[in-house]
Amino acid sequence: SGNSRKWHRNGIKKPKTHRYESLKGVRAQNHCGVQFFYLPDMQLGYF
């Protein structure tokens, strides 16, 4: 539907992504690497 397309534009937050939130304060390098891998997934429509 049209709404799901809008949601994918912003990036749907799935429960799978929550496991990375614990890494925010642990290591900045690791977190930046995680964000880098999210971008291609959003372009492909996985998120």
Interacting residues of 5 by C-beta distance below 8 A, sequence separation 6+: none
φ, ψ (nearest 5 deg) of residue 46: -70, -35
- Residue 42: phi and psi, rounded to 5, are -65, -35
Instruction: Render pLDDT for 1-47 as a digit per residue (tens, 0 to 9).
Output: 567 777 777 776 666 555 555 555 555 554 455 544 555 555 555 54
Q: What is the pTM (predicted TM-score) of this model?
A: 0.18
Element spanning 29, H or E: helix 28-44
pLDDT at 17: 53
Whether the CB-CB separation of 11 and 42 falls below 8 Å is answered with yes
Can you give the pLDDT at residue 47?
A: 46
